[in-house]
Amino acid sequence: MARAGEDIATAPIDLAIARIRAIYRGWNRDTTVTQMRSDWDSAFGGTTVPVTCERVSADAVAGEWISPAHPPPDKAVLYFHGGGFRIGSVSSHRDLIARIALASGCRVLGINYRLAPEHRFPAALDDALAAYDSMLRQGLKPTNIAFAGDSAGGNLALAAMLALRERGLELPVSAALMSPWADLAATGVSYVDRADADPIHQRPMILALAKNYLGEQGDPRQPLASPLYADLGGLPPLLIQVGDREIVRDDSVVLADKARAAGVEVDLQVWDGMIHVFQMFAEIPDAHQAIASIAGFLSRHLHLKGEKASS
């Protein structure tokens, strides 16, 4: 979905890549996970759009309502941030969440689920389910709630829906996923054939993050840890966005194929020249187009009025 004639070598995406690499250069084997989390939050904190932010506790899970002006009170998005289940927070993803909220006209609850290695699987999943339950107990209906998430957060959105289905509980109306990390075993062809194209991630790093999340004896093919290995039947409509340069591209492509085969409505968007969760970077024009597409998807399924055209 890159624009015709765009020179990838001089595109704004290079600025985004430089921002990420600058953080990674400051880390070494002695850098604590606390410092990594602080660095990541500092690098990506703040918002570039007008929203209100209200800190809350969603059934003992710390979160933040991020709202545009005059959102419908009976509709909401539950957002799960990325970061490999090791780093990331609402703070680091506040701008991305805010731009989705503004573009869709819907308020979004982002949560700070527990992270590994202090809290391994299924702690994050338990927190996701608790936050959803809290929204229901506040009076929101499943048909008026959508899930959204990026990377590990995309994994968590899928896993939470699978867990709800297993328990016979009502699922959210839809889910928007950005570069979902759905295969912790990292088996996709893209882990090899996109290794040279991906400027950020490589397979050994992905496998290390999986072990950090699951523990030494954890099974990376356990369906609630790796939704790619689950029976996907019964899931609500999915929007899946992924960059073509990502080693985790096939997590999205294979997931979409399996979901469609199970009867799930899927809109898969593979964005030419884009990197992992490119939507985070306001300097990338494609990010604005992608968020506008997410807003349209959310608006259709949540029946929002006054759908916005851009982020």
Residues sharing a CB contact under 8 Å with residue 311, sequence separation 6 or more, in sequence order: 49, 99, 100, 102, 103, 287, 288, 291, 292, 295
∠ CA 255-258-263, rounded to 5°: 120
Three-state DSSP at 25 gives helix
* CA 110 to centroid of chain Cα atoms: 11
Q: How far is residue 284 from each of residues 15, 17, 45, 61, 277, measured CA to CA in Å?
A: 9, 11, 17, 32, 11
Q: What is the arrangement of strands in the sheet containing 52-58, beginning at the earlier edge strand?
A: 52-58, 61-67, 108-111, 76-80, 145-150, 174-178, 238-243, 266-271
How many helices (H) and strands (E) are present in the chain, helices listed first? 9, 8
Beta bridge partners of 53: 66
d(CA 131, CA 79): 10
Among candidate residues 91, 104, 151, 299, the one labeled active-site is 151
Amino acid at 91: S
> Known catalytic residue: 104?
no
Contact between residue 64 and residue 53 where contact means Cβ atoms under 8 Å apart: yes
Q: Which of 106, 99, 45, 118 is nearest to 73 (CA)?
A: 106
Amino acid at 268: L
Active site residues: 151
